[in-house]
Amino acid sequence: MIQALVAVLMWVLVVSLLILRRRRTERSITYAALTISVAMTLNVDAIYSTVDTALGATNMATLVADGALMIGLFFLGRGIMKAGGYRPRLVRVALGLPALLLSLVGVGFAFLLIDRGATTTTFMSDLGAQPAAATYSMIGFTYCGIVVAAMLILAGRQYRLGDGAQRIPAGLLLLGSAFGVALCLVVLIMDVAHVVGNLDLMNAVAAAYGPLYLLTFVFLCTGLAGQSAVRYVRDRSRGVRTGALVNELEPIWRRATLVRPGLSQTHSSAASMEEPETRLHREIVEIRDAMIDPRVSFEVTGHERALLGRAEDHLLGLDGRGAQAADSSSTRRGSERGHV
C-alpha cells in the first residue's frame, strides 16, 4: 500500500513539474522526478511481478528499480545544487557522475552474485541473508544516503538564506532529506543484522522503515513542488509588475521618441512583438538617451525620474529601492546610457 501511494505521489509531482517548469531550460529535477517515479512504480507488487516476468522471472526488475532510484537521486541532487549555486567540494564529489557510475557498477556486480531464484516481491526479506544480497543493498543505500546527506546540506543552506514563502519548500526539502538519511541508516542496519543472523534486531529496526519511507517521499515531493510553485508565483508577479511599469513609462517614452526617435521608430513592427521585460529595458534606454542627448531638449519631472529609477531597479531585481535612490543616482545612470 505504501509503495502504491508513493508511486502515485511521484507521478503527481512529475505532472506538476511539467506544468510549473515547462519554460525552464534546466530540467534535472524533472528528470529526477520521472526516473524516481519509474523506480517507485516498479516497487508496486503487481507491476513488479508483471515486469519481472517479462525480464525472465529472475528478479531483474529489482536491479532496474534500484538503478533507476540511484540515477533519479543523482539528477535530484544535481538539480538542487544548481538551483542554489552553493557547491562545496564534498557535495560536488557526492553528486558527481564518477560516484554514481562506481556505485552502479558495484550494485550490478553484487547483484550477479546473488542466488536470486524466481520472482519475489519481498526480495531482501527472502534473500537478504546472502552476503552478496546484503552487499548489493548496502552499496545502493550507501550511495543513496550520501546523496541525500548532500541534499540535506544544500537544503539547509537554502533555508537559512531564504525568506518568507521561499523558506517553506526549503524547510520541506530539509525534513525530507533528514528522513531520507534516517531511512538509509535503517536499511543498512537491517542488512547487517540480517546477514549476521540477528533477526530480532532486524525486525525491531524494520518497524521504522515504512514510516520513514513514506515521510521521506512526502516531504521531498511537497518540497520540490513547493519550490516550483513559489517560483511560478514569483515570476507571474514579476510579469504583472513589469507590464504595469511599461504602461506607466509609456507616456514618458512617447515624448522621448518624439524629440529623439530611436530603434522603436526604425523597427516598429519588431518592437510590437517584444517580451515585456525587453520592451521595458528598451523604453528605459531610449528615455535615458533623450535625457542626455545635448542636441535635443527633453525634461522629466521628479516623479518621472523616480518612476524611471523604480523601473531600472525592477530589471535589476532591486524593487523598492528605486524611489529612494532615483534622484541621487540619475546622473550616474544617465551616463551609463541605460545599461541596466
**pLDDT tens figures, 109-139:** 999 999 998 999 888 988 989 999 999 999 9
pTM for the model: 0.74
Q: How far apart are CA 77 and CA 100, in angstroms?
A: 11
Task: Find the Cα–Cα–Cα–Cα dihedral 96, 102, 103, 105, rounded to 10°.
Answer: 140
**CA nearest 306: which of 317, 320, 296?**
320
* Structure letter (DSSP) for residue 44: S
Average pLDDT for residues 189-195, to the nearest whole number? 95
List all residues 6 or more positions away from 322 whose beta carbon is below 8 Å from its beta carbon. Answer: 306, 309, 310, 311, 312, 313, 314
Q: How far apart are CA 6 and CA 147, in angstroms?
A: 20
What is the per-residue pLDDT for 336?
39
End-to-end CA distance of the chain: 55
Q: What is the pLDDT of residues 146-167, one digit of tens each?
A: 999 999 988 888 888 877 777 8
Distances (CA, A) of 2 to 9, 190, 209: 10, 19, 11
- Mean per-residue pLDDT over the chain, rounded: 84
Confidence of residue 49 (pLDDT cuts 50, 70, 90): very high
